[in-house]
Structure 1
Amino acid sequence: MEATGIILAGGKSSRMGTNKALLKINGKTVIENVVEELRSIVNNILIVTNSFEEYEFLRLPMVEDRWKGMGPLAGIHAGLNTSKTERNLLVACDMPFISSQLGGVLLRELSEYQAVVPEINGQLHPLFAAYRKEVSVEIEKSLDQNQLRIRGIFQNIHVKIMDNMEICRKGIFLRESDLFNMNHPEEYEQAKNMSRHTLSINEQVKGRDET
């Protein structure tokens, strides 16, 4: 799909105590897993970070925040403003198990909306959502006024909120891990346990297939 995956990797990871994006699960860093999943649905990937040297190993385009110290909204602006495509899928760097299927659905829905945001069990996920490039103009207005809440921009753009029911109607059955994000060390341990559980199930299925 002609679209850009924008990975937000500019957070301080203060609650984790180390860079969340570079933590490893099954031998790969979280951000490598995100990149791998994105490559199945988009043809461009862009990393938003203020620490270029940490992500040079990925050999991907990078951009830094224009508004420093103004949170994820500034990162979204940097990514959308730099993107060369109208459709963009935003992903936080601390989501190790993102669903490319869900991402593809969100991107396709942009044909009629400026943003498409999943709402799972009553919780919005604006950091795994699809945005048209033009939304950067509205975000810039908010940043100029020091209004930093991501939800604040939804009042001024044509946004679609996709709840569990509609996502299911699209043929997507979400797992607990699909929108899981890590902020604390115990959540990193939880992510590793999720991954081991998934590997165990896959091995069992493979074993049955081979018999």
Structure 2
Amino acid sequence: MITEVTGILLAGGKSRRMGEDKRFVEIGARSLLERSLDILRCVFQDVVIVIAQDSPDLSSTVPVVRDLVADCGSLGGLYTGLSVARTNRVFVLACDMPFLSQETVRYFVHLKTEADIVMARLHNGWHPMHALYGRRCLPVMESMMAAKDLRIHRVTEHPALKLHTVTAEDLKTIDPAGRAFLNINTPADLELARSIFASDRS
């Protein structure tokens, strides 16, 4: 059980493209929220769920906190999680990733060393919602939110922060297909995920 990093689950999105609350969409009879939370609880001693200020109440066996800054999307959720964590680093996950694995999460934490950020950059770009962040990121995030620059991957560009980039080559033995980074945004994404899940079980 990892004690020096807190697991942060972001579960306060609007789900506009999905048309229903993604947190409670089920794959294999379990919701996306349950799947993500189970992974974090198996890896980290401390786990916190962050929801938006205007999200419906969410009951959980772990602490649930609301965004400290309203209307800043995932960046605001990450900022909140990093601010309330008792540890100097957090590992953040979005709750719409059905194929998360403990092995991949542990690999990212193992790479933390002195890095302020450990983030994957794969063929389809950066993956800031399956990444590790340190407290030195907080003032950078505050400046970004003040400027309404809410693109989380932009935090990797700040010269004061040390970045460790994870590549597809790094992940070829533990997640060769990049499934851990697949997220659900649309009904088509959900259909694909359910198809993959069914294929894996056949």
TM-score if structure 2 supplies the norm length?
Answer: 0.90
**Offset at 1:143?**
1.2
Instruction: Confirm whether residue 158 of structure 1 aligns to residue 131 of structure 2.
Output: no
Contact 1:87/1:107 (<8 A) preserved = no
* SS at structure 2 position matched to 1:153: helix
Higher mean C-alpha displacement, 151-160 vs 90-99: 151-160
Contact 1:52 1:62 in 2 (8 A): no
Contact 2:168 2:178 in 1 (8 A): no
Which runs of no fewer than 5 residues in structure 2 stay unpaired?
none
Q: CA deviation at 1:52?
A: 5.2
Amino acid at match of 1:190: L
Aligned counterparts, 1:28-43, within 5 A:
28-43=30-45
Instruction: After superposition, give the CA deviation of every residue in 1:168-197 in whole Å (9 maximum; x if it has no partner).
Output: 3xx423334221101111111111111111
* Structure 1 segment 117-196 matched on structure 2, within 5 A: 117-156=119-158, 157-168=161-172, 171-196=173-198
Asked if residue 66 in structure 1 is aligned to residue 68 in structure 2, the reply is yes
Alignment match of 2:82 (pick from 80, 83, 102): 80
Q: 1:9 to 1:191 in 2, by over 3 A?
A: same
C-alpha distance after superposition, 1:69-107 (max 9, x if no partner): 121111110110011112311101110111221111111
Cα RMSD, aligned residues only: 1.5
Provide Cα deviations, 1:82-135, integer angstroms capped at 9, x if missing partner. 111123111011101112211111112112200100122252101111111332
Alignment length, in residue pairs? 196
Cα displacement string for residues 43-85 of structure 1 (whole angstroms, at most 9, x for unaligned residues): 11111103352x30x2221111122112111111011001111
- Taking every aligned residue pair, what percent have the same amino acid on both sides? 28
Return the match for 1:98 from 100, 106, 109: 100
Q: What secondary structure is seen at the aligned counterpart in 1 of 2:169?
A: helix
Q: Distance in 2 between matches of 1:91 and 1:30?
A: 12
Mapped to 2, the partners of 1:99 and 1:121 lie a distance apart of 20
CA–CA distance in structure 2, aligned partners of residues 123 and 96 of structure 1: 19
Where does the alignment leave 5 or more consecutive residues of structure 1 unmatched? 201-211
Alpha-carbon distance, 1:39 to partner: 2.0
Query: Does the CA-based 8 Å contact 2:82-2:89 persist in structure 1?
Result: no
Residues 176 and 147 of structure 1: CA distance in aligned 2, closer, same or farther (over 3 Å): closer
Q: By percentage of residues, which structure has more helix? A: 1
Q: Which residue identity lines up with residue 42 of structure 2 in the other structure?
A: S
> 1:137/1:43 Cα in 2 relative to 1: closer, same or farther (>3 Å)?
same
Partner of 1:204: none
